[in-house]
């Protein structure tokens, strides 16, 4: 038994923030942002839109494509680091919003790798026969924890949600065949939201010091990202007995165009095989991989049996790679 992706969906909030808009907020310019990151604009959640609201729209689209009634979903797992509430989970809020009573629901926290971690967890429930279907979401509203005075980070992030519906299949050569996850907890200080948890609860002092915002050592993250992504991609391809040349398409976390170009170059995979959308969304964290999968899917990229290489990395550091046979 393998997990087959039978529906995809995504959602980006209506408001768009361009590089020109950012020039008015911090000392930056459109050319620097485009050349260093590949980003032109990003979407920003409205004040009344929480992560579960974004997730709801993406989920509804994916379920419609799958032809699955929301009431019949058996499992909901959401990858996010910007939940609606510290608790309960965004997955539970989403379950209520979908009018579902059947599914168990929980969040996983792996920053930008959240959707890969969520996909892996759901896959285990499907392949073990514990669930017949699963709704996997990646959603983040990182702009809620962005310091709009920090030009090192505020140019990078956008809000969004992506969804995948999984079902079990016995078909040979189709479905999620290998998925591998990794983490390196010695790198926690490289990319994190220091305040707001049990270590530094939010107080007037911690907030005045900006501890509620994303903090990142960008150049170091960049180096770790390229090495880790290339390694995990080699690992999953080797596990399948595949070579980079066997890959039909790449679906990757959209962090930075230079990270993706460098990773693809290391793998020897042409850039045309990788669906890119960070130009219009920026880095949407956990939403990135399922949104990218959905766009490529709706554009008609995939046919049964295609070998899709998936990868993501985020704060922790935490990362993962997968081979999905469409």
At residue 178's C-alpha, the angle toward residues 297 and 168, to 5°, is: 65
In the range 108-137, which residues lie near ligand UT7 by CB under 6 A? 112
Minimum Å distance from CB 157 to ligand UT7?
A: 8
State in angstroms the smallest separation of the CB of 273 from ligand UT7.
Answer: 21
Burial label, 272 (beta-carbon count in 10 A; 0-12, 13-18, 19+): exposed
Going residue by residue from 282 to 301, which x/- string records binding to ligand UT7, judged by CB under 6 A?
Answer: -x------------------
Residue 147 engages ligand UT7 in binding (rule: CB under 6 A): no
| Nearest residue to ligand UT7, by Cβ distance, number only | 218
List the beta strands (DSSP E) in 236-289. Answer: 249-252
**26-31: Cβ within 8 A, 24+ apart:** 26/148, 26/149, 26/150, 26/151, 26/154, 26/155, 27/151, 28/151, 28/155
d(CA 70, CA 203): 40
Q: Which two tokens stand for residue 229?
A: 């992504």
Question: Cα separation of 284 and 156, whole Å?
Answer: 9
Helix H or strand E encompassing 323: strand 318-325
Active site residue 112: yes
- By CB under 6 A, what part of segment 177-236 binds ligand UT7? 216, 218-219, 221-222
Q: Are 300 and 326 in contact (CB under 8 A)?
A: no
At 6, list the tokens: 């039978």
For residues 303 and 320, give the distance between their C-alpha atoms in angstroms, rounded to a whole number: 24
Q: Which of 37, 100, 177, 263 binds ligand UT7 (CB under 6 A)?
A: 37
Q: In this complex, which beta carbon is closest to ligand UT7, that of residue 118 or of residue 126?
A: 118
Catalytic residue among 100, 277, 283, 297: 283
> Which positions from 47 through 106 interact with ligand UT7, judged by CB under 6 A?
none
Residue of 43, 100, 154, 253 marked catalytic: 253
Check residue 28 for interaction with ligand UT7 (CB under 6 A).
yes
283 in active site: yes
Region binding ligand UT7 by CB under 6 A among candidate stretches 28-36, 229-237, 241-249, 295-303 = 28-36
By CB under 6 A, tell whether 36 contacts ligand UT7: yes
CA distance 32 to 195: 30
Annotated catalytic residue: which of 100, 112, 233, 277? 112
Q: Give the nearest distance from C-beta 260 to ligand UT7 in angstroms.
A: 10
- Could you list the residues that contact ligand UT7 (CB under 6 A)? 28, 32, 36-37, 112, 151-152, 155, 216, 218-219, 221-222, 255-256, 259, 283, 313-314
- Known catalytic residues are 112, 253, 283
């Amino acid at each position: 038994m393998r997990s087959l992706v039978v529906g995809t969906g995504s959602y980006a909030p209506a408001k768009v923030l361009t590089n020109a808009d950012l020039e008015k907020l911090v000392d930056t310019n459109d050319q620097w942002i485009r050349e260093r990151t590949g980003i032109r604009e990003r979407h920003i959640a409205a004040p009344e839109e929480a992560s579960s609201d974004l997730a709801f729209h993406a989920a509804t689209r994916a379920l419609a494509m799958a032809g699955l009634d929301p009431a019949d979903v058996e499992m909901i797992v959401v990858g996010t680091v910007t939940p609606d509430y510290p608790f309960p989970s965004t997955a539970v809020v989403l379950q209520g919003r979908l009018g579902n009573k059947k599914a168990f629901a929980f969040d996983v926290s792996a920053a930008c790798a959240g959707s890969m971690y969520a996909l892996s967890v759901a896959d285990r429930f499907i392949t073990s026969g514990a669930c017949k279907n699963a709704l996997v979401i990646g959603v983040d509203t990182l702009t809620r924890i962005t310091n709009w005075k920090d030009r090192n980070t505020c140019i990078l992030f956008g809000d969004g949600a992506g969804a995948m519906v999984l079902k079990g299949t016995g078909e040979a050569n189709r479905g999620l065949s290998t998925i591998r996850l990794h983490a390196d907890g010695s790198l926690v200080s490289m990319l994190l939201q220091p305040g707001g948890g049990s270590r530094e609860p939010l107080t007037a002092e911690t907030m005045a010091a900006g501890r509620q915002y994303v903090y990142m050592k960008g150049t170091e993250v960049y180096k770790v990202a390229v090495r880790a992504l290339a390694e995990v991609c080699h690992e999953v391809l080797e596990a399948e007995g595949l070579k980079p040349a066997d890959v039909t398409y790449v679906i990757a976390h959209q962090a930075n165009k230079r990270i993706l170009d460098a990773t693809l170059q290391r793998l020897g995979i042409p850039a045309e095989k990788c669906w890119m959308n960070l130009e219009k969304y920026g880095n949407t964290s956990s939403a990135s991989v399922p949104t990218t999968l959905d766009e490529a899917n709706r554009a008609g990229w995939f046919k049964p049996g295609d070998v899709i290489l998936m990868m993501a990395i985020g704060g922790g550091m935490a990362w993962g790679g997968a081979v999905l046979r469409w």
